[in-house]
Amino acid sequence: MSIDVNFMVGGEAGQGVQSVGFLLGKVFARGGYHIFADQDYESRVRGGHNFFRVRVKDSEVGAIAELVDVLIALNKESIGLHQKELAKMGVVIFDGDKVKDTGNNGDLFSVPLERLAEEKVGNKLMSNTVALGAALSLVEYDFEIVDKVLRDHFGAGETGEANAKAAKAGYDYAKDNFKRDFGYHLGTISDAKGMLLNGNEAVALGAMAAGCKFVAAYPMTPVTPIMEYIAAKAKEFGIVVVQPEDEISAINMIIGASYAGVRAMTATSGGGFCLMVEGLSLAGMTETPIVIVLGQRPGPAIGLPTRTEQGELEFAIHAGHGEFPRAVLAPATCEDAFWLTIKAFNLAEKYQTPVILLTDQHLASSYATNDVFDLSKVVIERGLLFSGEVVADYRRHKITESGISPRAFPLQQEGILVMTDSDEHNEEGHLIEDAETRIRIMEKRMRKLSGLRKEIASPKVYGPQKADMTLVGWGSTYGAIREAVDILHQEQFSVNLVHLTELWPFPAEAVADTLGGARNICVIENNATGQLSHLIQAETNIKPDRKIIKYDGRPFTPAYLVREVRKGVL
């Protein structure tokens, strides 16, 4: 029998919801289980309702489930909000000394969280760690692993010791007082060989592996952790990380760094990206390679700053004044986030153009188990560099058949003057006004699109090559749609998935070939207007038959998608 157990930690900001959720995932990952975990939090430092969900399976998992087997309720509100989501045999762990008037529901298991924390370690703030131990006791998990993870996480000193004792207190209390068979007995599968990462960490690791040496970014949910992660390792890897006064400065700083020959990146969300658009166009005009991570969240304006959406696909493709080449990549998983970040840097330098890595809050902050990335497969492509044959003839914007000019870096080769300009310019980089030069330089830049198109991967196909219904998605929706396809197959539906992670230049020919014979095309997106659906029709003349869209700031679940697909079939 396969294992699929779902935990939720609920409470206020400041109660340690995120810490307990992350440790739950880490404990099970250490025992060899596959993990997918996401978090839902409000835009405030304290108060408000937050929750962290952790799904534990003995097979690959890429989405969260709707039903909860164990709810750790750190306050009364969490019981009221989430008790209805409990599975048939589900249990709510709560502090009965603190939370009263919960009724006589058999789902409730009272654990004196604060009292145990005070008695065992003299610190009631560790009541959340007591709850962690109680939850793991219900599934009979090996406490030796729990103890080791806590000591690794908090250190071998007093803090690690205290947390291990607090968890043991909760573990033993549940073992002695929980009277019914919960039904789950989670033994160790194997020693953990992989990593528990979220999308932001995967992007940061990809940037470091790609040789990024300069990061300038202004903090903005959901991508701030990218800057923080790299900053923590900056000294070790020789990276400069700067937090400037705003996003305008950030993009101009990375343009300057790249002009000088350094691989450079910024990370922002929608509002910050708006401020960067003039700089984006400057990079397009000066043919300066830059990488921008755009972490989407619901807009317009501040919108829902801590929620998720896929509302900026068309914005990423078309943002800027004037026309210039760019690439837009949208990773589906943490593994994709790592490898596509490396590809973004390579494409930026090969084609001397901006590349946008389009993520969202769901991918950015969700954790998943991943195999260790094989760094021997990392390839660095710096593109066409000036070889220095005739120094006096160097032209930064030399017109070539490919549109790519040999690139030199200022002050790094004697006798070379590297000139460019934000005004239209000639091959040498001097500004011009005449129509003929404008046409020639504009066409030179746009010819790079031809080469870029060849670099864009075809969409992934999951399931049978031909099916009665084809579900189409992009970016972070992959895990939920893939699992929905598996569920529908079990129900004898003929369905497959076509998923895009490399979106611009749009792989029109590959998409047309893949969807050309599809009988019923349904595009699935976390936005209100169906932006990928528009793109498919505009680029291939194939009109999707149906859309499943969601724009409440919450990600898709497999169960939600299965219900929506059934509506269109039954």
Runs of H (alpha helix) within 269-426: 270-286, 313-318, 334-351, 361-365
Span 470-493, average pLDDT:
97
The length of the chain in residues reads 570
Strand order in the sheet with 367-370: 108-110, 86-94, 68-73, 4-13, 47-57, 34-40, 367-370, 195-198
Summarised one tens digit per residue, pLDDT across range 52-70 is 999 999 999 999 999 999 9
pLDDT value at 341 more than 90: yes
Task: Write down the pLDDT at residue 262.
Answer: 97
CA-to-CA separations, 61 to 20, 48, 65, 482, in angstroms, rounded? 20, 29, 10, 10
pLDDT value at 114 more than 90: yes
Q: Three-state SS for 267?
A: strand
Confidence class for position 193, pLDDT limits 50, 70, 90: low
Average of per-residue pLDDT values in the chain: 95
Amino acid (1-letter code) at residue 273: F
pLDDT value at 188 more than 90: no
Summarised one tens digit per residue, pLDDT across range 150-186 is 999 999 889 999 999 999 999 999 999 998 888 888 8
Beta strands 214-216; 195-198: pairing state: unpaired
Task: Write down the pLDDT at residue 105.
Answer: 66
Span 490-498, average pLDDT:
96
Contact between 557 and 66 (Cβ < 8 Å): yes
The encoded tokens of residue 496 equal 């497959």
pLDDT value at 388 more than 80: no
Largest Cα separation within the chain, whole Å, is 87
Summarised one tens digit per residue, pLDDT across range 209-249 is 999 999 999 999 999 999 999 999 999 999 999 999 999 99
Non-local CB neighbours of 230 within 8 Å, separated by 6+ positions: 204, 207, 208, 212, 215, 239, 241
Mean pLDDT lowest among 183-197, 510-524, 526-540: 183-197
Summarised one tens digit per residue, pLDDT across range 199-210 is 999 999 999 999
Please report, rounded to a whole number, the percentage of residues in the chain having pLDDT higher than 90.
89
Give the domains, in start order, of the chain with CATH numbers: 4-177 (3.40.920.10), 196-377 (3.40.50.970), 385-455 (no CATH), 460-569 (3.40.50.920)
Record the pTM.
Answer: 0.96
Span 321-347, average pLDDT:
98
